[in-house]
């Protein structure tokens, strides 16, 4: 016959080990992060499982990108990162409760779906206007930004001369 004290001791050890695994899973879920980079490398984000932005960086392609497209790219990349973070929950919980258990189905039902939008399409390149038909189409686009030219130095700039000396000596 099996010793009842040994059964109780085994049960307590299994329970303690299970509690330790549960605490570790809880800690890992609390610290989940996800990271994603846009397909063109212009945006890289890191977010928490709740979607809080943890880091944001821009690649060189972001420099010439219109602000509205860049904003859309940040949002879609952040959503992809969040979906990646949330997807880790089932991976963390599987060893503890089983892949296909009722408990896993409950966990999955508690994870809100994340709508991950497609990345915005790149803006069409500017075209040269050759005929009237293209001129009409181009007139619906905003005008290009004016180019700022450096201001030329004028004769009233006294920063290089002393105010107390006449040129040519006194």
Asked whether the predicted pLDDT for residue 153 surpasses 70, the reply is no
CA–chain centroid gap for 157, Å, is 49
Annotated domain spans of the chain:
32-117
Q: Is 59 helix (H, G, I), strand (E, B) or coil?
A: coil
Asked whether the predicted pLDDT for residue 149 surpasses 70, the reply is no
Q: Residue 170: CB partners within 8 Å, gap ≥ 6?
A: none
Domain 32-117 has CATH 3.90.78.10: no
Q: Is 45 helix (H, G, I), strand (E, B) or coil?
A: strand
pTM of the model: 0.60
67-78 pLDDT, tens digit per residue, is 999 999 999 999
């Amino acid at each position: 016959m099996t010793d009842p004290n040994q059964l109780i001791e085994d049960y307590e050890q299994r329970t303690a080990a299970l509690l330790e695994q549960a605490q570790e899973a809880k800690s890992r879920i609390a610290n989940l992060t996800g990271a994603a980079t846009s397909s063109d490398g212009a945006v890289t984000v890191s977010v928490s499982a709740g979607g809080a932005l943890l880091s944001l960086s821009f690649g060189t392609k972001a420099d010439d990108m219109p602000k509205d497209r860049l904003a859309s790219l940040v949002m879609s990349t952040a959503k992809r990162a969040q979906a990646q973070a949330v997807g880790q929950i089932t991976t963390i919980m599987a060893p503890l409760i089983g892949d296909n258990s009722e408990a896993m189905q409950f966990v999955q039902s508690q994870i809100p779906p994340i709508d991950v939008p497609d990345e915005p399409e790149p803006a069409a390149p500017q075209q040269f206007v050759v005929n009237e038909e293209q001129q009409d189409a181009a007139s619906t686009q905003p005008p290009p930004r004016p180019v700022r030219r450096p201001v030329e130095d004028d004769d009233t700039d006294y920063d290089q001369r002393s105010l107390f000396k006449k040129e040519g000596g006194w």
